[in-house]
Amino acid sequence: MKRHFDSIWVREGLESAPEVATFLASLPNVPVNRFTKVSEIAVPGKSMAERITNGKRVLVIDRRSGSLLDQFVNHDPGAVCPTYPRLVPSTNCVYGCSYCFLQGTYRGCRPFVCAYVIDVPALDRELRRKFSEKNTVSVISAGEMSDPLGCDVLGYMPRIVAMFGKLDNLRLLILTKSGIDEFRPLLNAEHNGHTIASWSITCEEVIAQYEPGNVVLKSRLEAAKAAQQAGYEVRFRLDPLILFDEWPDAYGRTISSIYDMRIAPARFTLGSFRFQGSLGHIIKGRFPKTDLLDNPMEKEGKRWRYKPEVREEFYRYAITCIRKYDTNVPIALCRETSSVCRSLAGLTDRRKCNCLP
């Protein structure tokens, strides 16, 4: 997928960084602006919805004020989810999923795509300092606050993958919706089995309806196949499952497509459409004709979700489809309620979710 930007904003002083200079030279026709304060960055739009939409085409190149490493902590008592460390090489996303929670995270204040200039040796030292004394393997998740491949405009990910290849007790998790074009730079990276390539996938119907302009399913699976052939551990996150009339056939085809391409996933994680806070209003504002919110939903914890029986039907069907091809691959649920997790306890394993070792 070719990235298109209407404007680029570079923090004063970063334009001379080699990665930045090379990237800017590759886009000679895109206006480049300098800034010293984030408040100077102009994203067109009269409403928050317009700014969120237009911000997809505004790229900001910055240096993160704090560490690129932080931690996800679950603050929703209605969701089962572990605490795990994260790598944040970028924020927001170039992709256009109408259900994405990042719309509600950055909203009108930081609606642009932001790629950070990264001091890779300094990141290496920080990882060694923070994790060197741990006797267990830790997974560092990249893909929570952006798509780490779709937003890798400065080309850091091959170097970061190679860096993790030398860290014995760490694994890098790349969660992405990107396709073969975006993954190709990693095919020759010296990952040493220390990077997990995980694809967020759904059915073709959902991609067409709710992921406008995104990488198609075939390209995501081609990337996963290439990653597997290059020795990466491959995982799939089938999330969010979205309710529509033909969903069983559609999701069944998606799962069949994985195994038809002879991809052998190391694990699956399943999740259903959910949202919290103001995201419902943002979705309505950005996509006034969408039917995404038409199905009955209930609030459990902090999130609005399909009714429990609908979600359980989703999961049981997906699990049955997966088990036709692989009776042993671990299957987990993503940020589900404890009651649904208990209902599926014999079919899923919460210790094997996408973000854990």
Residue 133: pLDDT band (50, 70, 90) is: confident
* CA distance linking residue 163 with residue 342, whole number of Å: 39
Interval 114-129 mean pLDDT? 97
State which amino acid sits at residue 78. Answer: G
Contact 238, 269 (CB under 8 A): yes
**Is the pLDDT at 280 greater than 70, yes or no?**
yes
* pLDDT tens-digit readout, 238-252: 999 999 999 999 999
**Is the pLDDT at 205 greater than 70, yes or no?**
yes
| 222, β-bridge pairs | none
> In the numeric block, which tokens belong to residue 209?
């309806």
**Is the pLDDT at 351 greater than 90, yes or no?**
yes
Residue 268: pLDDT band (50, 70, 90) is: very high
Average predicted confidence (pLDDT) for the chain: 96
* CA distance linking residue 16 with residue 274, whole number of Å: 42
CB atoms within 10 A of CB 257: 17
State which amino acid sits at residue 215. Answer: V
Chain center to CA of 217: 15
Res 49: pLDDT: 93
Contact 220, 178 (CB under 8 A): yes
Domain boundaries 7-352, corresponding CATH code: 3.80.30.30
Residue 286: pLDDT band (50, 70, 90) is: very high
For residue 31, say if its preceding peptide bond is cis, omega within 30 degrees of 0.
Answer: no
Residue 90: pLDDT band (50, 70, 90) is: very high
**Is the pLDDT at 9 greater than 90, yes or no?**
yes
**Is the pLDDT at 26 greater than 70, yes or no?**
yes
Res 168: pLDDT: 93
End-to-end CA distance of the chain: 30
**Is the pLDDT at 185 greater than 70, yes or no?**
yes
| 33, β-bridge pairs | 9
**Is the pLDDT at 2 greater than 80, yes or no?**
no
**Is the pLDDT at 1 greater than 70, yes or no?**
no
The domain segmentation of the chain, as residue ranges, is 7-352
Res 135: pLDDT: 83
CB atoms within 10 A of CB 229: 12
Res 298: pLDDT: 96
